[in-house]
Chains A and B, each alone.
Chain A
Amino acid sequence: NAGVTQTPKFRVLKTGQSMTLLCAQDMNHEYMYWYRQDPGMGLRLIHYSVGEGTTAKGEVPDGYNVSRLKKQNFLLGLESAAPSQTSVYFCASRPGLAGVIGELFFGEGSRLTVL
């Protein structure tokens, strides 16, 4: 009954360090997303993927890279972390059924602090 799992849940980085957030879903969903949530800003889309091997930019992609080598996993990378990337990151997935507009299934979030 895992759904969408994010790893790690918490991380503190120093400016300039790199890290990768892992998102894994066991629902065989085609679409996967990375959002960031900042106070007063709602959720903003960073990158998304519509299938294995595909990625696309969202609203705020700068400073992030992503990969979807396996259908069930969507990785978010920070090559050189900056304090402006301090945020809560949410991964989400949804089925890719043609003609169906489905809701997003969210992970529990990952809180990242960049000092």
Chain B
Amino acid sequence: AQKITQTQPGMFVQEKEAVTLDCTYDTSDPSYGLFWYKQPSSGEMIFLIYQGSYDQQNATEGRYSLNFQKARKSANLVISASQLGDSAMYFCAMSGGAGSYQLTFGKGTKLSVIP
């Protein structure tokens, strides 16, 4: 069974500063994918970034990067140069390898960006 743990219910960050949102996972699959989603107050789920378990380099998408440490089973999201619009809930999720159909989500971290 897959499990995602997000230990930070809420985080605060000053505008223009960087912030790291923690995510640890547990799985017995040798192949898996890790995802981060953003949910603003309007409620929609926005895909941010993806990391495959066999990817050699950490994924990056604009101001988002995923700090993937396979031995520690962690997949932390780093947001650089925080903006007020980054205030939202952030969910870490994982999927098993080919043939595994489900995404398992963590409980989320609420990020608040302070002007």
Contact = CB atoms under 8 A, between A and B. Distances in A.
Interface residues of B, number: 26
Contacts of B101: 31, 48, 50, 56
Contacts of A109: 43-45
A13 interface: no
Interface stretch (A18-26, A36-44, A75-83): A36-44
A101 B108 contact: no
The interface centre, meaning the residue of A35, A43, A108 with most chain B CB atoms within 10 A of its CB, is A43
Interface residues of A, number: 26
A109 to B, nearest CB: 5
B60 to A, nearest CB: 16
Contacts of A56: 101
Which 8 pairs from chain A and chain B are nearest by CB? A101-B33, A106-B45, A42-B107, A43-B105, A42-B105, A103-B47, A99-B98, A109-B43
Interface of B: 4, 6, 9, 31-33, 35, 43-45, 47, 50, 52, 91, 93, 95, 97-98, 101-108
